[in-house]
Amino acid sequence: MERTFAIIKPDAVRRGVAGAIIDRIEKAGFLVVGMKKRSLTRAEAEGFYAVHRGKSFFSGLTEFMSSGPVVVLVLEADGAIKKWRDLMGATDPAKAAPGTLRAEFGSSIGENATHGSDAPETAAYEMGYFFAGVELI
């Protein structure tokens, strides 16, 4: 079994579709081993996305991610990282395959409903950013 990190972003929470996304996650065979709803400060968003500091989209991304509540999750499944990225779909909802979360719930590249780790090292860092080990079942 593998674990990965996911975020239901402020746009999806604001539109009231977080529950529908969680339902799709569970129906896809993931076990939710950690979940929190919280608001990020701008500093927390900047720390989380520090790898992108200096890129043209950094300021807008961190402003957006601190604009309202998010749901952070740790998901477990066989091949969880790839499986979650496949379920999310392409970053640009207009290019995401039908049936993916971003195609269904995203509205733009910037407001694409979900985030997911792209590699085991990233997942470990991102899970640790929001969850202490004792919080994960």
Q: Is residue 62 part of a domain?
A: no
**Residue 8 corresponds to which tokens in the numbers above?**
């239901």
pLDDT digits (tens, 9 = 90+) for 10-30: 999 999 999 999 999 999 999
Provide the pLDDT confidence category of residue 135 given band limits of 50, 70 and 90. Answer: confident
- State the CATH number of the domain containing residue 35: 3.30.70.141
Q: Is residue 48 part of a domain?
A: no
pTM, two decimal places: 0.94
pLDDT digits (tens, 9 = 90+) for 67-97: 999 999 999 999 999 999 999 999 999 999 9
How buried is 25 (Cβ within 10 angstroms: 0-12 exposed, 13-18 middle, 19+ buried)?
Answer: buried
Q: CA angle, corner 85, sides to 29 and 79, nearest 5? A: 55
The per-residue pLDDT for 134 is: 81
Mean pLDDT, to the nearest integer, of 115-122?
A: 96
Q: Is residue 136 part of a domain?
A: no
Whether 115 is a known active-site residue: answer: yes
Q: Is residue 57 part of a domain?
A: no
Residue 63 CA: distances (Å) to CA of 5, 29, 107, 121, 133: 21, 33, 17, 25, 28
Residue type, 13: V
Query: Which residue segment(s) compose the domain that 83 sits in?
Result: 2-39+68-130
Q: Is residue 125 part of a domain?
A: yes
Higher pLDDT, 137 or 121: 121
Q: Is residue 12 part of a domain?
A: yes
What does the DSSP assignment read for 8-57? E-HHHHHTT-HHHHHHHHHHTT-EEEEEEEEE--HHHHHHHTGGGTTSTT
Q: Is residue 135 part of a domain?
A: no
In 3D space, the residue among 38, 35, 64 whose CA is nearest the CA of residue 49 turns out to be: 64
Catalytic residue among 3, 9, 102, 115: 115
The per-residue pLDDT for 92 is: 95
Mean pLDDT, to the nearest integer, of 121-136?
A: 93
Total domains in the fold of the chain: 1
The per-residue pLDDT for 30 is: 98
